[in-house]
Amino acid sequence: MNGQNYNARRRSTFLAITKPAVLPAVGIILAGCGRAHSALSPVSPEAADIARIWWIFFVVCAAVYIVVALLVVGARWCRGNSNSTAGIPPPLKVEASQELRTERIVLWATVVTALILVSLLGADLWVQRGISPRNDDPLAIRLTGHQWWWSAEYQDPNPSRVFETANEIHIPAGRSIRLILESNDVIHSFWIPQIHGKKDLIPGHPAEISFRVDKPGKYDGFCAEFCGYQHAHMGLIVVAEEPAKFEQWAQAQRTEAPPSLTDSQKRGREIFEHASCSLCHTANGTMARSRVGPILTHVASRSMIGAGVLPNTRENLAAWLVDPQIAKPGAMMPPNELSKADLNALLDFMETLK
């Protein structure tokens, strides 16, 4: 939540001087920029670098803007004639010497502009160089965009340790992450504002992005390239955890669905395997093996349903199962006609998919 501290640690001397002076003025404007998905609350070195270059640009551009705005408003006050009905005066006689002096001022202003731009360009290239791909034993995750959800496959040299999840990825804090980005249908764009800038997922053009999150926490992400009806509801959650906790989570993800114990759970599993669910979904350890929709082996361990549409509660899940088109019109999942008892049984079963 409070990435400002993180930023403060990495703050350059330049900003140490300028930021306190500017902050009161812009603090009011940017008061909102502290939330869990603000680009200015960085939690990774990459986002912090970007935030730093943002603040440099912001300060310089704000200064330029204030000067220009003062010149414009000043013209109204200093060169105003209050009596507009007095008729239009004849054109001024332009004197060559006066004109030359004016043009010289314009020339100098242009030179200053060019110098400012060149230094901004230098600062930009310098920071851009700093954001280089990470090669220090990164954890590789293959992230695939679908209309309108994400699937993530955790790579491992040992094939039996590869596992898959959807819409919510956990990562170890402090370790480099390398995402291999692919799209299954249209163009999507990966964006977790607090972690890194965007990278497009383009069919036929695999791309990569790498970063490291130092601060454990839960960070919201979005699809940033318009991808159809539910572009608005294509959320991705990144959970950064202490490495030990992450390892624990990963181990759990590799397991299969637990056996169903109660009658209700058994009935739920039957519905899951023999009604509509298994036509599209997979849950390891059950007969459901279809690769169309998100993998559900550990769906109960996720915090949201439907790629960030609803919090994962029993009531919401019930509503989602009965008619996903209410919360996410246009989504690929059809409504399901289930009796109350069957719905409860299915929910009982799905709650075991931890």
The footprint of other proteins on residues 44-103 (CB under 8 A) is 47, 49-50, 53-54, 57-58, 61, 64-65, 68-69, 71-72, 75-76, 79-81, 84, 88-92, 94, 98-99, 102-103
Q: Please state, in angstroms and rounded to a whole number, the distance separating the CA atoms of residues 225 and 240.
A: 24
Q: Please state, in angstroms and rounded to a whole number, the distance separating the CA atoms of residues 75 and 86.
A: 19
| Selected binder of other proteins within 6, 163, 222, 246 (CB under 8 A) | 222
Question: Closest distance between other proteins and the C-beta of residue 249, in Å?
Answer: 24
List, in sequence order, every beta strand (DSSP E) within 262-334. 304-305, 310-311
Question: Closest distance between other proteins and the C-beta of residue 108, in Å?
Answer: 9
CB distance 298 to 285 below 8 Å: no
Is 20 one of the binding residues for other proteins (CB under 8 A)? no
Is 168 one of the binding residues for other proteins (CB under 8 A)? no
- Name residues contacting other proteins, limited to 223-242 (CB under 8 A): 223-232
Is 1 one of the binding residues for other proteins (CB under 8 A)? no
- Name residues contacting other proteins, limited to 182-211 (CB under 8 A): 185-187, 189, 191, 193, 196-200, 202-205, 207
- Name residues contacting other proteins, limited to 147-166 (CB under 8 A): 147
Sign of CA dihedral 230, 231, 233, 236: positive
> Cβ neighbours of residue 57 under 8 Å, at least 6 residues apart?
120, 123, 124
Is 287 one of the binding residues for other proteins (CB under 8 A)? no
Which range, of 37-45, 138-146, 150-158, 240-248, touches other proteins by CB under 8 A?
Answer: 37-45
C-alpha pair distances (Å), 342 with each of 265, 272, 323: 10, 10, 15
| Selected binder of other proteins within 162, 258, 337, 341 (CB under 8 A) | 337
C-alpha pair distances (Å), 304 with each of 16, 169, 188, 213, 220: 40, 12, 20, 21, 11
Nearer to other proteins, 153 or 182 (CB): 182
Q: Please state, in angstroms and rounded to a whole number, the distance separating the CA atoms of residues 312 and 306.
A: 9
